[in-house]
Amino acid sequence: AQSVAQPEDQVNVAEGNPLTVKCTYSVSGNPYLFWYVQYPNRGLQFLLKYITGDNLVKGSYGFEAEFNKSQTSFHLKKPSALVSDSALYFCAVSALGGSARQLTFGSGTQLTVLP
């Protein structure tokens, strides 16, 4: 079985400050890891993914994520937060990567960037 934990329901950060949204995972085998963002009354938008290769993955809107195999973590980061980054963020993991029926979402983290 695979699982994803997002330990923080809510993260608040001041505009211009760096932000981190935490994610840890549990999966058998090599993980395929994803971050999605959801703005109010919208669908989920893909931000970035880790399949293999460099542990630092760069994605859309200036976001990046660091894969840490020893800590089984895949934290989402951005050097300078914008008010427009305020949204609901989901981490997800897939064990095999080729079949979305095995895509498991975390519980979500509400990010609020304060002006």
Partner 1 sequence: DTEVTQTPKHLVMGMTNKKSLKCEQHMGHRAMYWYKQKAKKPPELMFVYSYEKLSINESVPSRFSPECPNSSLLNLHLHALQPEDSALYLCASSPLAGGSGELFFGEGSRLTVL
Residue numbers of the site for partner 1 (CB under 8 A)? Answer: 32, 34, 36, 41-46, 49, 51, 88, 90, 94, 96-103, 105-108, 110
Is residue 60 within 8 Å of 48, Cβ to Cβ? yes
The rounded radius of gyration (Å) of the Cα atoms in the chain is 13
Query: Would you say 3 or 80 has its CB closer to partner 1?
Result: 3
Query: Would you say 32 or 74 has its CB closer to partner 1?
Result: 32
Q: How far is the CB of 46 from partner 1 (least distance, A)?
A: 6
Is residue 6 within 8 Å of 91, Cβ to Cβ? yes
Is residue 93 within 8 Å of 25, Cβ to Cβ? yes
Query: Would you say 18 or 75 has its CB closer to partner 1?
Result: 75
